[in-house]
Structure 1
Amino acid sequence: MSHGLNLFFSVLIVFVLTQLRALVAVSNEPQVPCYFIFGDSLVDCGNNNELVTAAKANYPPYGVDFPEGVTGRFTNGLTIADIIGQLLGFVKFIPPYSTVTDQEISTGVNYGSGGAGIRDESGTELGDCVSFNRQLDNHADIISRLSLLQNNKTYTNEYVKKCIYLSNIGNDDYIDNYLMPNNYPTSHMYTTDQYAAVLLRQYSQQLTTLYNLGARKIAVFGLGVIGCTPAEIARFGTDGRPCVNSINNAVNQFNVRLKPLIHQLNNNFSDAKFTFINFTSVSAPEGDVTLPAKPCCQLRGDGQCVPNSIPCPDRDSTIFYDGFHTTELSNIAVATRAYTGLSPTDASPYDISHLAQL
């Protein structure tokens, strides 16, 4: 298995270097005028810093490899959303909603919040978080601010239609909801199949709200292989298998419904371009999700890094940074395949590079 891991990272590093060379050729002008980011801790860039919650990453060793140091990103360096922003041609990182200024909002806003879910209660055992519904409310506020600044509502409406919208949410509806029967009632109320259906109905309504707020180019990420994360493996055990299969099977019931939902939304809204990003496909070599799950940092009981602990020195040869979140190198691999699909299973009907051109 260690040989398989080393081979994976050898291929990954070559792939990443190839993609990064392409970054150098990106024009100084972004491919789209603005970029709006919704989601959970996989894209959070500091919105949770001032919230009363355990789900925050505004301390070392998070940010050890990030140009600006500790910012609230749940990894050692760049997030998936950061890298996609670079690939789209944005020179500066998209700022968090919590600190964004009027001078910054015309290029986009990051609403992501660690612990946030499709359901409002998800993640609340950790403290406060900005659920997807609240993120949509925050986006409505930003659109109003943008309209006032541009002093032309018609112009603003046309302007935001050209932007890229990224949604990466739903993981915490499992990690910090369904898989915590002592904290939440959902696993007592629904089978895994029923829960996936309930989540998708609510997500469909929320994505429709995003459309009604002006979004027309929307990249929607599926959920990751939660059962392969170090924290869930430590908590549930694997019966000798590489991952917690029961968790991955439950999450897959959501993912298999999400792609048809995206195509349904495209049929419902003929002027919109929704696309499905297959997180499992873009994050795993040839579909292999059985690689060893070893975190890079020392873990607290909740799966986050122990404050001020020393991370592993070989961060470019490990998948996970803490109990749930991947390293920058893994994020680069995911983001570049989401941006430029290498396989027909990576994105449907478009990868993000083609979505930007539509």
Structure 2
Amino acid sequence: MASKLGLLFGILKTATLMSFQIVFVIGEPQVPCYFIFGDSLVDSGNNNGLVTAAKANYTPYGVDFPQGVTGRFTNGLTMADIIGQLLGFSNFIPSYAMTNNGEINSGVNYGSGGAGIRDETGRNLGDRISMNKQLLRHATIVSRLSNLQRNKTFTNEYIQKCIYIIYMGSNDYINNYLMPNNYSTSTKYTPDQYATVLIQQYSQQLKSLYELGARKIAVFGLGFIGCTPYEISTFGTNGEPCVESINNATMLFNKRLKPLIDDLNNAFFDARFTFINISSISASQGAVLTNVSCCQTRSDGQCVPNSVPCSNRTMYTYYDGFHPTEIANRLLASRSYAALSPMDASPYDISHLAQL
């Protein structure tokens, strides 16, 4: 498992510098718009106005972000932000909560901390915008686009050229299955059964996204949740680097997600779904301090408000108990965009998906 968390910091640093170079040589966006679905790993402020513990609109979040505190659950840019830069977008894709009609042509970020594939996921934290609700919000955006462009046929063709990324499923474990005192799923389902149930619902959601006009869709697998500082401190590792039972459970989900992507591509001849293998990317590289949070954390794993984070943030994988630092996000984004291994993405990485 140690290899799952990283080899040498120099490798990560080199990959990060490469991603910086890619960002600055790109000119016009490679696609007309970019839509982002997911949880706190991509949330850019949608939870700020919600009644929830899952919000990052306070310091030390955003300490390295150009605009400071925005609601991003990291010290700087999220993985979704960096992918947007690699696609050539000069501005960050606006959150649904803050977007206006002048901005939606370039895309919208629907990500919400605590959100899951299942509607009840994350209710222990408070309000959140589940995947089903994010799809409803996207339907309103497509309608708004059609009204603005005053040509439904043009809008349909326009949104088919866009990139869609979905990073969902982590909370269905963290804030559902792994909380037997709050949820009954772990008593109803074995890990194998739960993965099957999640994939069945996810399949319907991805089909709904297709029906809303999406054609270039990158679906991210789950990372090693059992290696996060919070889960390690909560469950213990029995001498292993990570909580193996949690990683084994989430890998059951990943093993079903890749075949689902293949099935969707076979079912919809004009669609291009692709699987981004975050666990494979994470397995090969990482920062030096992997199981330690950069910021001081409270009992739920988030940063203590107004606390002072670590000064050497490029040496940490995790900013708080769950969320990657910007440097870790740069690694994940750069290899999602331009795969270094056939295991990173299948059948396309995001750079090739954009060209299709």
- What's the TM-score, normalizing by structure 2? 0.97
8 Å CA contact retained: 2:280, 2:343: yes
Per-residue CA deviations over 1:185-220 (Å, capped at 9, x if unaligned) read 100100000000000000000000000000000000
Matched letter for residue 110 of structure 1: N
Secondary structure of 2:292's counterpart equals coil
Q: Does 1:347 align with 2:345?
A: yes
Q: Does 1:177 align with 2:176?
A: yes
Change beyond 3 A, Cα 1:124–1:150: same
Q: Give the structure 1 partner of residue 113 of structure 2.
A: 114
For 1:124 and 1:49, how far apart are their aligned partners in 2?
A: 16
Per-residue CA deviations over 1:92-114 (Å, capped at 9, x if unaligned) read 00000011000000000000000
Q: Which has the higher contact order (CA 8 A, sep 6+)?
A: 2
Matched letter for residue 182 of structure 1: N
CA RMSD of aligned residues (A): 1.8
Q: Which moved more, 1:7-16 or 1:95-104?
A: 7-16
Deviant stretches of 4+, over 6 Å: 288-291
8 Å CA contact retained: 2:6, 2:284: no
Q: Give the structure 2 partner of residue 281 of structure 1.
A: 280
Total equivalences in the alignment: 356
Per-residue CA deviations over 1:317-348 (Å, capped at 9, x if unaligned) read 11000000000000000000000000000000
8 Å CA contact retained: 1:232, 1:244: yes
* 5+ residue gaps, structure 1: none
For 2:281 and 2:332, how far apart are their aligned partners in 1?
A: 5
Q: Give the structure 2 partner of residue 255 of structure 1.
A: 254
Secondary structure of 1:319's counterpart equals strand
Secondary structure of 1:235's counterpart equals helix
Matched letter for residue 10 of structure 2: S
Tell me by how many angstroms 1:290 deviates.
11
For 1:145 and 1:85, how far apart are their aligned partners in 2?
A: 22
For 1:13 and 1:289, how far apart are their aligned partners in 2?
A: 9
Matched letter for residue 97 of structure 2: S
For 1:151 and 1:346, how far apart are their aligned partners in 2?
A: 40
Tell me by how many angstroms 1:21 deviates.
1.2
Secondary structure of 2:195's counterpart equals helix
8 Å CA contact retained: 1:227, 1:243: yes
Q: Give the structure 2 partner of residue 131 of structure 1.
A: 130
Matched letter for residue 132 of structure 1: M
For 2:92 and 2:49, how far apart are their aligned partners in 1?
A: 20
Per-residue CA deviations over 1:235-272 (Å, capped at 9, x if unaligned) read 00000110000000000000000000000000000000
Tell me by how many angstroms 1:19 deviates.
2.3
For 2:290 and 2:52, how far apart are their aligned partners in 1?
A: 30
Tell me by how many angstroms 1:289 deviates.
11
Q: Give the structure 2 partner of residue 68 of structure 1.
A: 67
Q: Give the structure 1 partner of residue 211 of structure 2.
A: 212
* 5+ residue gaps, structure 2: none
For 2:5 and 2:144, how far apart are their aligned partners in 1?
A: 48
Q: Give the structure 2 partner of residue 140 of structure 1.
A: 139
8 Å CA contact retained: 1:279, 1:346: yes
**Structure 2 matches for 1:1-358, cutoff 5 A?**
8-27=8-27, 29-285=28-284, 292-358=290-356
8 Å CA contact retained: 1:30, 1:88: yes
Tell me by how many angstroms 1:291 deviates.
6.8
Matched letter for residue 117 of structure 1: G
For 1:103 and 1:282, how far apart are their aligned partners in 2?
A: 36
8 Å CA contact retained: 2:290, 2:318: no
Change beyond 3 A, Cα 1:228–1:290: farther
Tell me by how many angstroms 1:22 deviates.
2.1
8 Å CA contact retained: 1:242, 1:291: no
8 Å CA contact retained: 2:275, 2:345: yes
Secondary structure of 1:284's counterpart equals helix
Per-residue CA deviations over 1:290-327 (Å, capped at 9, x if unaligned) read 97400000000000000000000000011000000000
Matched letter for residue 46 of structure 1: G
For 2:312 and 2:283, how far apart are their aligned partners in 1?
A: 20
For 1:196 and 1:284, how far apart are their aligned partners in 2?
A: 21
Per-residue CA deviations over 1:67-96 (Å, capped at 9, x if unaligned) read 000000000000000000000000000000
Q: Percent identity?
A: 67
8 Å CA contact retained: 2:9, 2:288: no
Secondary structure of 1:240's counterpart equals coil
